[in-house]
Amino acid sequence: MENREKYEAFYKRSIEDRDGFWKEQAKLIHWDKPFKTVLEYQKPPFANWFPDGTTNLCYNAVDRHLAERADQTAIIWVSTEVEQEKTITYQELYQQVNEYAALLKDLGVGKGDRVLVYLPMIAEVIPVMLSCVRIGAIHSVVFGGFASTALASRIDDAAPKLIITVDAGIRGGKVVPYKPLLQESLNQISVTRPKVLLINRNLDPNLKMEKGDLDFTTELAKHKDAVVEPEWLPSSHPSYILYTSGTTGKAKGVQRDTGGHAVAMRASMKHIYGVEPGQVMFAGSDVGWVVGHSYIVYAPLLTGATTVVYEGLPIRPDPGVWWSLVEKYKVNCLFTSPTAIRLLKKSGEEWIWKYDLSSLESMFLAGEPLDRETHRWVTSALKHAPVVDNYWQTETGWPILTNFKGMGLMETKFGSPCRPAYGFDVVLIDDLTQQPAEPNTKGSLMIRPPLPPGCLSTVWGDDERFVQTYFSRMREPIYATFDSAVYDDDGYYYIMGRDDDVINVAGHRLGTREIEEALCSHPAVAEAASIGIKDELRGQAISCFVVLTTGAEPPSEADLKNHVASQLGPVARPHFVRVVTALPKTRSGKVLRRAIVAINEGRDPGDLPTIEDASALDKIKEACKN
C-alpha cells in the first residue's frame, strides 16, 4: 500500500504540476545552456520540451562520466556468432567517439545531416551512433533484416549524406551479406546517392566494393587520437529517426529530439528500471528497434551504467547462454521480450537454474503483450528477481504503462503492465460514445497531449502526417496508441491487442489476445496466434496456430478447442487449431497475423521486410493444407 500511495502522489504531480515535475527530472542531465522554459506548447499537438536550453547526447553519455568512471566498463560486447567478447571502458569509448566523429566530419557530415546506419550488433555500432549525435548529425539506424526495397524507401525518406554498413552479419551461424542488399537498394533510390563507408568483418569472401566506397579501417586510421568538441544543440534538435516496423507505403520515420530524449531516458532508469551508475544492464534486443536505441545505447550510458551488447540468438549455443552472461558479468537488470521468454520456456527452467543469478535484481519485458502464463512461469523460474511487464511503443521511446522498480514495486498482477507511467495522461475511450470508459470495459487506449519528454516530436519531414496519424482518431485531438485495453478497479491496465485485431463471429467481437491467452493457459502450449478467416455463415471463423512446450505430450485438436471454449464460452471455440514449430514474427516479437490470414485465404502475404524467420510462413502454409 505504501508503494502504491507513493506512486499515486508521484504520478499526480507529473500531470498536475508538469513544469515543476520535469524541471526536477531535467537536473539528471548536463545542460550547457540551462533552459528557462520547461514546455513550449503554442502549436498543439507539437510539444517542445526545454526549448531554450542546449545540450548534447554524446557528452551526457560519455564525457561527463570521465571524472568518476573513466576506467569503468561502458560496453560489454559479446558475439556467440563469431565467438568473441570485448569490453570498452568509458575512457576508451570517449577516444572512439572522438575518432569516429572526426572521420564523419572529414567525410563532409555536419549538424543536421543524416547518417544511415545499416549494421548488425557489432562493437562499433554504439560508437557510430554516439559520434553522430556528438556533431549534431541525425542517425537513422535500419535493422539488418530489412530487404532492399524497404531499405531503399528509408534512404529516400531520410536522404542521408553517408551510409555506414558492413560486409555481412551472421545469425544462427548463417552469414547474411549486407553489401549486396545495400547495393540493390541504391539502384532503386531517387535521392542523391550517399557515400558508403564499409566495416569489413571478413565474413563475406565475395565482397565487392563499388567505385567511391570507403573502407572504414583505412579512413579511421587518419584520425587517431583526434579530439572533436561536442556540438551544443537546442533541445529540439533531432537526435535520430527510427522507422516503425510494419510500415506500408511511404516509410514513417519517428523523429526524436535531443533534450527531452536525454531527460526521459535518464529519469526512466532512475524511477522505472532502478538501475544506478556503475550497475550492469543487458537488453536482449537490437539497434534498429526502439528497445535497442533506448535501453542498449542511450539510457544505460546516460546513467553511467554498463551496457551489454549481444550478437546472437538466446538459444545458441544453448538455451542457457543469456543466463551465463548474467552470471559472468553480474547483470543487475535484464530486459527482453515475451517472445524470447516463450522461446526459453520451451527449453525448460533447468537452464535458468543452472547459473548463479544472484546479481539479477529485475527482469523487464516489452515488445508485445505478455500473457499471464508466461509471466507466471518466468516469475516462478527466476525465484528472487521480480518480472515487470511494461507497455510502450516506438513512438513513445519509453514505457506508457509499467511498474516502478526505482520507486518501489507495487503488487504484480499477471498479464498486466500495471499502471500509467508518470507524464503519460492515459485515458481509455469508448469507441462508440467517445467518452472515457468505465472500469472493466474495453476501450481504445489514448494519451491526452502534450506527450511527455522523450516521445516523438513529429514524423520526419511530415508534420501533417504526424497530426493525421496520431491525433485525428477522436473528435478531440488526443494521441491514439491503436491498442485496445481494459483497466480494473485498482487502475491496472490489460492490453487486449491492436484495435483491428478483432474477430467477429456471428456478431460476437472477440480479441485475438484473449483467445491466445486462453490457449497459452493450456500446460502444453508455449505460444499461440489466432486469426479470423472469412466464413460465409458466421462472418469470420477463429483459426489458431500453437507452438508446444518442449517435451509436452501433444494434446489433441479437440482438447485445445474445448480448452478455449471452457475459458471464453462456446462462441469462442476455434474452427481449427494447428500445431506448428514456429510462428512468423518480427524481430521485436510481434506476430504477423495479416500474413497468416493471407496464407489461410490463399493470398500472397506480400513484402515482409521485418520477418524474423521466413521459414515460419512455410510451416503455416503446410499446416493449412492439413
SS (H, E, C) 218-249: HHHHHHCCCCCCCCCEECCCCCEEEECCCCCC
- Compute the average pLDDT of residues 115-133: 97
Specify the pLDDT at position 250.
67
Q: What's the longest Cα–Cα distance across the chain? A: 73
Which three three-digit cell numbers place residue 281?
A: 544492464
CB 594 within 8 A of CB 620: no
- 111-120, 173-182, 523-532, 559-568, range with greatest mean pLDDT: 111-120
Strands (E), 394-478: 401-402, 419-420, 425-429, 443-448, 458-459
587 pLDDT higher than 80: no
3-state secondary structure 558-620: HHHHHHHHHHHCHHHCCCEEEECCCCCEECCCCECHHHHHHHHCCCCCCCCCCECCCHHHHHH
Among the ranges given (132-136, 239-243, 539-543, 591-595), the one the predictor scored with the smallest mean pLDDT: 591-595
The CA distances from residue 570 to 364, 440, 574, in Å, are 35, 22, 9
**Segment 347-378, tens digit of pLDDT:** 888 999 999 999 999 999 998 778 888 999 99
Considering only CA atoms, which of 304, 286, 336 is closest in space to residue 117? Answer: 286
**Segment 269-327, tens digit of pLDDT:** 999 999 999 999 999 988 988 999 999 999 999 999 999 999 999 989 999 999 999 99
Domain over 500-625 is classified CATH 3.30.300.30? yes
Number of Cβ within 10 Å of residue 44's Cβ equals 11
Specify the pLDDT at position 612.
61
The pTM (predicted TM-score) of the whole model is 0.85
Any bridge partners for residue 444, and if so which? Answer: 429, 484
Considering only CA atoms, which of 552, 550, 516 is closest in space to residue 531? Answer: 516
Mean residue pLDDT across the chain = 91
Environment class of residue 289 by beta-carbon count within 10 Å: exposed (0-12), middle (13-18) or buried (19+)?
buried
- Share of residues in the chain with pLDDT > 70 (%): 94
Specify the pLDDT at position 517.
83
Specify the pLDDT at position 513.
77
More confident position, 234 or 482 = 234
- Compute the average pLDDT of residues 560-580: 87
What is the Cα–Cα distance from 223 to 102, expressed in whole angstroms?
A: 6
Specify the pLDDT at position 9.
96
474 pLDDT higher than 80: yes
CB 244 within 8 A of CB 395: yes
**Segment 418-454, tens digit of pLDDT:** 999 999 999 999 888 889 999 999 899 999 999 999 9
599 band by pLDDT with thresholds 50, 70 and 90: confident
More confident position, 616 or 43 = 43
Domains of the chain, by residue range, sit at 2-312+390-484, 500-625
In 3-state terms the chain splits into helix, strand, coil percentages (rounded to 5) of 35, 25, 40
607 pLDDT higher than 80: no
Specify the pLDDT at position 246.
42
Specify the pLDDT at position 362.
97
CATH topology of domain 2-312+390-484: Rossmann fold (3.40.50)
Cα-based angle 398, 402, 408 (whole degrees, multiple of 5): 115
